[in-house]
Amino acid sequence: LADKAAWLAVLDILESRRELQPLVVVSAVGKVEGRPKVTDLLQALADGGEGLNTLRGIHQDLLADLELPLDLLDELFSQLEKAVAERGVDREARQDLIMGFGERLSSVMMAAALGARGWDSRAVAPEEVGLITDDRHQDASILEPSLEELAKKVIASRNHLVVPGYVGVTRGGQATTLGRGGSDYTAAAFGAALKRDVEIWTDVNGVAAANPALFEDMREAGHPRTIPRLSHEEAYQMAAFGSRVLYQKCLNAARLAGRKGRHLRMIVKNTFEPDHPGTIIESHASPDGTPRGITALEGVQLLTVYLDREDDYHDLFRQVADLEETHVLMASYSTGRASFVFDRLTPALEELERQFRDAHLSRDQVLIKVVGDGLGHNHSVLGTIHQVVDQLNDPERYGAPLLHKSPQLLTDSTFEAVALKRGAELVVRTLYKELFCQGELNVGL
């Protein structure tokens, strides 16, 4: 929702689905080159800085472009000014209240724009529809019992509702925000509550089989490919470990729906190429071991400890479990050696390395995953993966192994390994070419 073209494209998409009576979830106004981001301006306001006039100007320009009343957002901006000026309240709650105004402004604009096209539309705040969260500010989770209330209030409404994504409210009435991917998470929660499909409209053609930034030289040939279908488990693995389109909390909502017998289906599509099929995410799995995608999670830390006695492992494991502000993503143990992959570097993790005589902390590594339901049982695919691993660990060719030998983990739906940062791009590209490009004929002219 960055500019007039994006708004008109979204409005046309909604018009094409009018008979389906969609509930609309919106994000804040997006980024335009040369213009401050709405989220950055709101963060500055939350921190006591300037930016209110710039924020107002961005929205005034859009109102004019969309031929909407220029005073449409006056009440919301008055509320924002009051929130910015307020002191002596809970700092985190105040920040969430301010940071959520981007989506609230968009929801009022979208409802008005739809109304101008003849829709009986209305913008609703999260507290109006019962979108209740826990009190973990900046990263709140929607409470499972609130799904029933959501469904009741939406069904009872006679309007086409427009909901601000990313924002919620605690049982005590404090504003919260839902963290990264919060608008998609909001939409998934409503889909789970209403037992309806969720369409996520973004600026890419669905979920790519690998990070497109690593394939600039193959872009004209259509690489990396869009994944046509993903199961919830496959999508969760992609979201949790490096996908730039999917978000983990969004898939948590899908899992929650599954536990309640609601098989939530999500479709990720491109606002600017609406005819592209995108990626369908559904509960149904095809456990034939076909690889669906490759993720690369940067900035992980690999702790390897060599142990003399079995009892030492129990002490090490206890200390790892007691670490705060960092989480274990992957672990393995073989006689005399334990390996742990952590999501971030902390002073406590560095101190843990120093406590063991024979320990080494490899900083800033990359966790690589090949994802596909049933992958652990497809010996042909596993053979290809291991050939790639052996090839990339040839010291004569690359000077040193590009992948750590431990830990390497095989689950029912993933193969996981840790790569050196300098070799991660080559690892992903080589795996992609071997797993996804073998059926192609390359002709040189």
Within 10 angstroms of residue 56's Cβ, the number of other Cβ atoms is 17
pLDDT tens readout for residues 130-167:
999 999 999 999 998 888 889 999 999 989 999 999 99
pLDDT band at residue 75 using 50, 70 and 90 as cut-offs:
very high
- Pick from 388, 418, 181: which is nearest to 298 by CA? 418
The predicted pLDDT at position 440 comes to: 61
The predicted pLDDT at position 56 comes to: 96
Distance in angstroms (rounded) separating the CA atoms of residues 20 and 199: 12
The predicted pLDDT at position 413 comes to: 92
Distance in angstroms (rounded) separating the CA atoms of residues 117 and 138: 35
pLDDT band at residue 439 using 50, 70 and 90 as cut-offs:
low
**E strand or H helix at 314:** helix 310-322
State whether residue 167 is helix, strand or coil: strand
To the nearest 10 degrees (0 to 180), the angle between helices 52-65 and 74-85 is 170
State whether residue 154 is helix, strand or coil: helix
pLDDT band at residue 443 using 50, 70 and 90 as cut-offs:
very low
Q: Sketch out the chain's domains with CATH numbers.
A: 293-436 (3.30.2130.10)
| E-assigned strand segments in 211-336 | 229-231, 266-270, 279-282, 293-306, 328-334
The predicted pLDDT at position 311 comes to: 65
Percent share of the chain, pLDDT over 90: 73
- Pick from 375, 395, 397: which is nearest to 386 by CA? 375
pTM comes to: 0.88
- Pick from 201, 184, 202: which is nearest to 254 by CA? 184
Contact by Cβ (8 Å): 332, 409: yes
| E-assigned strand segments in 139-220 | 160-164, 167-169, 175-177, 198-202
pLDDT tens readout for residues 279-302:
999 988 788 899 999 999 999 999
Lowest mean pLDDT among 211-215, 243-247, 255-259, 356-360: 255-259
pLDDT tens readout for residues 2-44:
999 999 999 999 999 999 999 999 999 988 888 999 999 999 9
State whether residue 327 is helix, strand or coil: coil
